[in-house]
Structures are given as structure tokens and as C-alpha cells.
Amino acid sequence: MRTIVYIDGFNLYYRMLKSRPSMKWLNPLSLASEVLDASHRITRVNYYIARVSARAHDPGAPPRQATYLNALASVPEIAIHEGSFMTSEPWMPLTVPPQAKPDGYLWTLPAPAMVRVIKSEEKGSDVNLGAHLVRDAFTDAFDVGVVITNDSDLVEPIRIAVTEAGKRVGLLVPVKYPTQSLMNVASFYLRLRPGHLARAQFPDPVLAADGSSIAKPPSWA
């Protein structure tokens, strides 16, 4: 079966990879091949992500991500689709009483009802994934679509691909308990497990098409 895999990069990262640094050097094509059975002929892996910006607490995040995206680009079947981040400074209400880290912090002054915060939102990835899934379903680009996510925003694109385009669309879910609304519209679902990640790591270093080598970031060792 011709199979295209669509990966919600941030959903996979925050659900499975953030707490497992040694598994961040992940080859998504190998991951899909590890979980899906041999009846699937994976023709393309679409990876949806946005470039992170430097933050005071982790200024090394952008170069680490860039290194990883370079490793992804070394695999011909993987296509990277970049969204963007939008940063704003909205006013937000505080909880009552206000809660702050570290645990045990005492709020000694009267709390304002509203505070201004820095808010970063990733834009474009979900829309791009959903649009590409629906397009590919109606143009007969695949027999089976496989989506790696647990984001309920993708319920409608999956439903359209299944019920209106007549395609099978499965889920590889990065959580123990998948979102019910996604399960309701998907043709099947399989759970991603840490063992799948461990067996789907890039070599270190990765050899790029131009002959250069791409080394795994040391902090991911």
C-alpha cells in the first residue's frame, strides 16, 4: 500500500521527545517503518515544524534544531514543511491565589488581577498538515495516510480524507490515551512507544548528500 506519513513535529516532541533527550536524534522514516507492517510502502514522510527562537533559558535550542533539520534533509523521502512562530504580549488573568515556581514561593504583595505575558504560538503547521492530507487524499497520492499526532485540531481533515475521499487514514499516537475525537474518525490507530524511538535513531554522524557529516548535538547523548 502506498503510504504517506504526516508528522506533527511539535506534538511528537512535547509528547515523547522532550523528556527523552537521548531519543531526539530520531529518523521519522525509520520510526514509521518500525511501527507499520510490511504491507506499507512509505513513499514520503512530511514533517511539519517551525523554527524555534533563542530564549534566555536555552539559547542553544535554535542551532540544535537546525542540526536536526539538516539531518532530516539528508533522507530523500522526508519533506520538511516549516510554519512560523508568532510572539505577542497579551494581558492575561492570574489564578487566584496566584501560583508561581519554584514550589513554595510566597506571594507577599496584593496580586494584580491581570498581568502582561510573553506568548509564543506556533502557526501554520496544523493547517499545512491538514491541507496536504486532504489534497493528497483527493488526488490519489496515497492508499493509506498515517498521521503522527494527538492534536484534535486535525479531526476534520482526517474525517474528510476518510469519509469523503474514501481513503484509509491511521494514527500513530505519541500518548498512552489518545484523544477520543481523533480515534472516532481514524481508520486505525497504533501507539508509539519508547522502544520504537530507540530503534529508529539516526547514526551519529549522519552523512549528508554533499559528503559532509552532521553530528548529533552533545546534549542529546
Mean pLDDT to the nearest integer, 187-200: 97
Closest of 58, 8, 34 to residue 194, by C-alpha:
34
| DSSP notation for 101-136 | SSTT----SPPPSEEE--EEEEESHHHHHHHHHHHH
**pLDDT at residue 122 is higher than 80:** no
Closest CA to 3 of 126, 95, 121, 141: 141
Length of the chain as a residue count: 221
Q: What is the CA radius of gyration of the chain?
A: 20
Residue 129, burial from CB neighbour count under 10 angstroms (0-12, 13-18, 19+)? buried
Is the pLDDT at 100 greater than 80, yes or no? no
Q: What is the CATH number of the domain that holds 150?
A: 3.40.50.1010
Residue 116 lies in a domain: no
- Residue 108 in domain: no
Residue 63 has pLDDT above 60, yes or no: yes
Mean pLDDT of the chain: 90
Stretch 42-52: mean pLDDT:
95
Cis bond before residue 218 (omega within 30° of 0): no
- Quick check: is 74 in a domain? yes
How far apart are the C-alpha atoms of 73 and 65, rounded to whole Å? 12
For the chain, what is the domain count? 1
- pLDDT score, position 93: 79
**Other residues' Cβ atoms within 10 Å of the Cβ of residue 218:** 8
Instruction: Evaluate whether 68 touches 24 at the Cβ level (below 8 Å).
Output: yes
Q: Which residue spans within the chain are E strands per DSSP? A: 2-8, 41-49, 78-82, 84-88, 91-93, 114-116, 119-123, 144-148, 168-173, 188-191, 206-207, 213-214
Q: Is 210 exposed, middle or buried (0-12, 13-18, 19+ CB in 10 A)?
A: exposed
Q: Which of 189, 188, 148, 141 is nearest to 30 (CA)?
A: 148
Residue 142: domain span: 2-85+122-220
Q: Is the pLDDT of residue 132 over 90?
A: yes
